[in-house]
Structure 1
Amino acid sequence: MSREPVYAALTGLVRAITAVQGLRITYRGTENIPRRGGVVLAVNHTGYLDFMQVGLVARQGKRRVRYMMKKELERNPVVGFLMRHCKAIGVDRAAGAESYAAAVQALRDGELVCVYPEATISRSFELKAFKSGAARMALEAGVPIVPVAIWGSQRIMTKDMPKALGRHNFPVHIAVGQTVPPHGTPDELTTALRSGLESALGVAQQGYEHPAGARWVPARLGGSAPTLDEAAVIEADEKARRAKG
């Protein structure tokens, strides 16, 4: 890999934060990350800080991640500097075609591009409905998709829960699923991706202690997190409030 001092410094910072928090990270399936060539890294989304674990799992495969981030963040002098020097892809929701084209070009250039198929954090901690962007990018660039499931990071910082940013020694399980080749229509590939990510999530949850009634545990596993349907109602209400200003 070519030298990228800013990216290297950020990676060092993430590793330091992980050590201070006492996170106990377990990796499974990292051999499924191609060591070279364009790859769509499709990740489940349960917390605000799971992007840190995405960077660490890519590092296991000796790769760097190119994140897709809100373009308006570029206006912040610090974040803008980091985005430029870490080759982040700015996403403008009002002009999505431009950011989509930039992501496809990055994939063609052999980069590993991180995509959250659910688009937003899942309050239920179950997989929400998938957008087709990851599949369309993979098909257009002719690159595979690698599903990655991160489990446990929702305990640190997520929606509707108190933050736990100090030293807590939480376990975090990361499972890298089997490569999904770029075949079929966008809908067919999205279905295949979802199946792969569901399998990876099952692996990540194996051996993880889920206390009954815990807020960060899905209802399906005995926790008190909202179900998918309940979470959808919360999100619809939230969207309506934002629309009213």
Structure 2
Amino acid sequence: MADIVYPPVIWTSLTSFRALDLRLRVEGAEHVPKAGGAVLAANHVSYLDFIFAGFAARPAGRLVRFMAKKEVFDHKISGPLMRAMHHIPVDRSAGAAAYDHAVRALRGGEIVGVFPEATISRSFTVKDMKSGAVRMAASAGVPLIPVALWGTQRLWSKGCPRNLLQRHVPIAIVVGEPTFPQADDDPAALTAELRVRLSAMLDQAQRAYPDIRPGAWWQPVHLGGTAPTPEEAAALDTAEIEARRTRRGAGHDTPPE
């Protein structure tokens, strides 16, 4: 497929990162294949994670087609860009169509990016994960590659200060070794294994981070930060879902996550 918009978007992002002196560190990029389909499964701590997860594939010269909620495609600014970059819209009320779209893309040799937690983790730990990434990899016969992101939450995360012009922020992008799910494997078991691997990779990235600050809002509790605990984060997520249902019941539009 023709990619007229995607390369200029990457170039613009890189130019912005250089201007802000964001200190991107990519490890394990050799695990991303230079040809053929693959699923990149990343943890989710920021609204900007799709940008940085995509950089995991840049050394291999690949573009990543990310699965993102339909509301992003409906937006008057982000929508045209997302469609032009051939990302995959996900309607949460009819997820089968997005799943089929992703599997076709994988079989066609594309790399598809997925955030198995579905929503941003407020605790900055890895939440429970959905099995779609594992099932897609098994259905398409492609590798499943974990990606741990850290530092992106400092720029823009859920319920936290947004500072897109913050300078000198270290960003870690860690790519793990691929696994090869099979059609007869147990998706729940493989998803549990993926969560364990991503948690270990994220913990390693957090502990190796060059700017650890005890008491910082963007640090998880277990490393001395003031982010919500996983239990507190789950309660906040539940309250948000209930509030969204109430707004829908009252006939109000629901704002994006």
The residue number in structure 2 matching 1:199 is 200
The superposition leaves residues 31-89 of structure 1 with CA deviations (integer Å, 9 ceiling, x where unpaired) of 11111111110000001112111122211221100011223443445433323321111
Give the Cα–Cα distance (whole angstroms) in 2 for the partners of residues 60 and 13 of structure 1: 17
Give the Cα–Cα distance (whole angstroms) in 1 for the partners of residues 145 and 126 of structure 2: 16
Tell me which amino acid in the other structure corresponds to 1:92: D
The residue number in structure 2 matching 1:211 is 213
Alignment of 1:48-197 (within 5 A): 48-183=47-182, 184-197=185-198
Give the Cα–Cα distance (whole angstroms) in 1 for the partners of residues 121 and 73 of structure 2: 25
Unmatched runs of 5 consecutive residues or more in structure 2: 248-257
CA RMSD of the aligned region, Å?
1.6
Give the Cα–Cα distance (whole angstroms) in 2 for the partners of residues 72 and 204 of structure 1: 31
CA contact (8 A) 2:32 2:56 kept: no
Tell me which amino acid in the other structure corresponds to 1:87: H
Change (3 A) 1:67 1:166: same
TM-aligned CA deviation for residue 221 of structure 1: 0.5
CA contact (8 A) 1:175 1:203 kept: no
Q: TM-score, normalised by structure 1?
A: 0.94
Unmatched runs of 5 consecutive residues or more in structure 1: none
Corresponding residue SS for 2:5: helix
Give the Cα–Cα distance (whole angstroms) in 1 for the partners of residues 83 and 237 of structure 2: 32
Alignment of 1:229-240 (within 5 A): 229-240=231-242
Stretch of structure 1 that moved more, 112-121 or 135-144:
135-144
Give the Cα–Cα distance (whole angstroms) in 1 for the partners of residues 136 and 79 of structure 2: 24
Tell me which amino acid in the other structure corresponds to 1:136: R
Corresponding residue SS for 1:94: coil
The residue number in structure 2 matching 1:220 is 222
Give the Cα–Cα distance (whole angstroms) in 2 for the partners of residues 13 and 59 of structure 1: 14
Change (3 A) 1:76 1:198: closer
Corresponding residue SS for 2:129: coil
Give the Cα–Cα distance (whole angstroms) in 2 for the partners of residues 173 and 19 of structure 1: 15
Tell me which amino acid in the other structure corresponds to 2:141: G
Q: TM-score, normalised by structure 2?
A: 0.90
Stretch of structure 1 that moved more, 174-183 or 121-130:
174-183
Runs of at least 4 residues of structure 1 off by over 6 A? none
The superposition leaves residues 180-233 of structure 1 with CA deviations (integer Å, 9 ceiling, x where unpaired) of 111321112212212221232133224213211111000011111111001111
Between the two proteins, the alignment pairs up a number of residues equal to: 244
TM-aligned CA deviation for residue 160 of structure 1: 1.7
Change (3 A) 1:128 1:75: closer
The residue number in structure 1 matching 2:255 is none
Give the Cα–Cα distance (whole angstroms) in 2 for the partners of residues 212 and 73 of structure 1: 34
Give the Cα–Cα distance (whole angstroms) in 2 for the partners of residues 77 and 156 of structure 1: 23
- What is the percent sequence identity of the aligned residues? 45
CA contact (8 A) 1:44 1:117 kept: yes
